[in-house]
Amino acid sequence: MADRKPIESWLTDMDGVLIHEGVPIPGADAFIKRLRESGKPFLVLTNNSIYTPRDLHARLRRMGLEVPIESIWTSALATAKFLDDQRPGGSAYVIGEAGLTTALHDIGYILTDHEPDYVVLGETRTYSFEAMTKAVRLINAGARFICTNPDETGPSTEGPLPATGAVAALITKATGKQPYFAGKPNPLMMRTGLNAIGAHSESSAMIGDRMDTDVLAGIEAGMQTFLVLTGLTRPEQVENFPYRPSKVVDSIADLVERV
């Protein structure tokens, strides 16, 4: 393997890497503390579009993890950035929560169900048949279909929940239109995140717990990748994929000394 530049900036997934079901993973506090003390730019990423960065900052703080608001990058922010580049000042019919609607408001988008430029589907705990029907009709009438992320299920204390990717499949089946996914594994999310902190992929690393989203997005964005085994991917599953992370470690605690 060719020598890589020293890591000067870090991107890390949140669920499965820093926290698990609302509890910090051992070593997460030390890792974040080391990052902040180092002065190196970093981002905590999540495909979950429900919460705003301010919401997530408060939730992480309650768990003892002090992550600045400007160091949080969500699929909702990546989606808004993409739409602002594609069609500034546009309009959208949105299925989602405050994280997504706030991000679109902040770029000057009009949220409407009257001839919108886009139908934007994000995460919500209350997907309604009425909203999905409206989305299908608007897409059939010419609105472009955008999704924050392709995750088909999400975690809960009771077990997996249907997520954005599953609802997107329903809408696709009804319209024949495939959505554009802005979140991981789309490397767009990583590149826009790197741009937001003034970092370069050649000297950046991505930490994640999923081979199919975190590691894949990091590889495609040109970064070093670290897979932690505290989330969804098990050690024996790594060889099932046609690509590999730069390194597999047990947990985020093993990376504190790398910062």
3-state secondary structure of 51: coil
Question: Looking at this protein, which amino acid is placed at residue 89?
Answer: G
List phi, psi (to 5°) of 179. Answer: -80, 165
Write down the catalytic residue from 13, 117, 212, 214.
13
Estimate the crossing angle of helix 75-86 against helix 187-196, to 10 degrees.
90
Q: Give 78-181's CATH code, choosing from 1.10.3720.10, 3.40.50.2300, 3.40.50.1000, 3.40.640.10.
A: 3.40.50.1000
**158 — pLDDT class (breaks 50, 70, 90):** confident
Confidence of residue 97 (pLDDT cuts 50, 70, 90): very high
Q: Which of 3, 15, 84, 113 is catalytic?
A: 15
**What's the start-to-end Cα distance of the chain, in Å?**
21
13 counts as catalytic = yes
Q: Tell me the percentage of the chain whose pLDDT exceeds 90.
A: 90
Report how far residue 11's alpha carbon sits from residue 36's, in angstroms, rounded to the nearest whole number: 13
User: pLDDT category, 104, cuts 50, 70, 90?
Assistant: very high
Q: What is the pTM of this model?
A: 0.93
Residue 77: pLDDT band with limits 50, 70, 90: very high
Provide the 3-class DSSP secondary structure of residue 111: strand
| Residue range 9-47+185-258, CATH number | 3.40.50.1000
> In the structure, what pLDDT confidence band is assigned to residue 160 with cuts at 50, 70 and 90?
confident
13 is in an annotated binding site: yes
* Residue 15 is assigned to a ligand binding site: yes
Q: State pLDDT tens for residues 25-75.
A: 999 999 999 999 999 999 999 999 999 999 999 999 999 999 999 999 999
Task: Quote the tokens at residue 203.
Answer: 């000297």
For residue 1, pLDDT over 70 is answered with: no
Question: Would you state the pLDDT for residue 2?
Answer: 57
Tell me the pLDDT tens digit for each residue of 208-229.
999 999 999 999 999 999 999 9
Query: Does the pLDDT of residue 161 top 90, yes or no?
Result: no
- Do residues 252 and 242 lie in contact, with contact meaning Cβ atoms separated by under 8 Å? no
**Residue 197, class by beta-carbon neighbours within 10 Å (0-12 exposed, 13-18 middle, 19+ buried)?**
middle
CB proximity list for 74: less than 8 A, separation 6 or greater:
45, 46, 47, 48, 49, 51, 52, 53, 56, 99, 103
Domain with CATH 3.40.50.1000 in the chain: 9-47+185-258, 78-181
pLDDT at 5: 86
According to the annotation, is 209 in a ligand binding site?
yes
Looking at every residue in the chain, the average pLDDT score rounds to 95
Respond yes or no: is residue 254 known to be catalytic: no
Residue 3 in marked binding region: no
